[in-house]
Amino acid sequence: MNPYTILLVALPVVVLAATVEALVLTRRGDYDWRGYLLSLGDLAGRQFLRYGVPLTLGSPIIAWASQHALFHIPLDGAWGFLALFLGQEFCYYWYHRAAHRVRWFWASHVVHHSPEQLTLAAAFRLGWTSSATGALLFFVPLIFLGFPAPIVVATLAINLLYQFWVHATWIPRLGPLEWVLNTPSAHRVHHASNLDYLDANYGGVLIVFDRLFGTYRPERAEEPCRYGLVKPLGTRNLLVVEFHEWAAMLRDAWRAPTWRGRIGTLLMPPGWKPDGTGQTTEALRRAAALPQAAE
């Protein structure tokens, strides 16, 4: 099962659905067509890089884990696939949490959070550099335990495809499903830049690990979601959107007075500064006297 084949087959359907939504929402009111085109540009560039510059930081470690797997877990029954699904969801939760809480990973993931209007097109604005950051390393434990690497990556691709529909703002809350699944309501909170909503709802298909680890936030009618970054970029230049955080992170690391500060700039949360004056989520919440999220 080739994960890239899964994504390529789904790609026309995804783009068509996003375009239909764009046309319908345009008739109903304002629609950010420039944001739509920006997402298409990100998608086109990512496909070019995937085949033209196939740089994946985790490939050697994935190959090693495959060769030295502790077990061989058969996928010839429901229990094997259930274990893979739950394991992948667990690993995805921690990857996604790190993508918000470790600046090295945020430098790539920030692209996905740059749209200031949440639409289906925003779902495929994923950034060009995630493979180069080592994001797949979070799924190596599954391979080391004995799940085949191609199946693990294919399961991740299916996870990402599931998340396409949760980027809709016109789908209401889904009742009891909100307790188990990552729904559009839960994901609207995840994309919101409101202080009370920051760093929440990291789940892929399931929301249960957010509830278990204290990072779940419900959408509230009295707190409408504001989308985009806490500090809006103010530009639609594709290259700036893709690389602005890399440039800022490396500049901050260069200016740090010590090696501890340089390493911290890469590995601590976005907004962290060595002298303690940074504006992390926690610092912003303390300034606003809001409750802290789970660490």
Ranges of each domain in the chain: 3-213, 238-287
The neighbour count for residue 4, using CB atoms within 10 Å, is 13
Q: What is the Cα–Cα distance from 32 to 38, expressed in whole angstroms?
A: 10
For residue 149, what are the contacts with CB-CB under 8 A and spacing of at least 6? 62, 63, 65, 66, 143
Query: What's the pLDDT at 207?
Result: 98
pLDDT in tens, 139-173: 999 999 999 999 999 999 999 999 999 999 999 99
Q: What is the Cα–Cα distance from 99 to 171, expressed in whole angstroms?
A: 26
152-156, 272-276, 288-292: least confident range: 288-292
Does residue 28 carry a pLDDT above 60?
A: yes
| Residue 126 burial (10 A CB sphere; 0-12, 13-18, 19+) | middle
For residue 264, what are the contacts with CB-CB under 8 A and spacing of at least 6? 256, 272, 274
Higher pLDDT, 49 or 210: 210
Whole-number Cα distances in Å, 115 to 68, 70, 241, 257: 42, 42, 10, 34
pLDDT in tens, 221-236: 999 999 999 999 989 9
Residue 3 pLDDT class (50, 70, 90 cuts): low
pLDDT in tens, 82-97: 999 999 999 999 999 9
Q: What is the Cα–Cα distance from 193 to 217, expressed in whole angstroms?
A: 13
**C-alpha torsion sign, points 31, 33, 37, 42:** negative
Percent of the chain with pLDDT over 70: 93
Mean pLDDT of 287-291: 75
Give the helix ranges, DSSP H, for 170-237.
184-191, 208-213
Predicted TM-score (pTM) of the model is 0.93
Q: What is the Cα–Cα distance from 146 to 167, expressed in whole angstroms?
A: 33
Does residue 290 carry a pLDDT above 80?
A: no
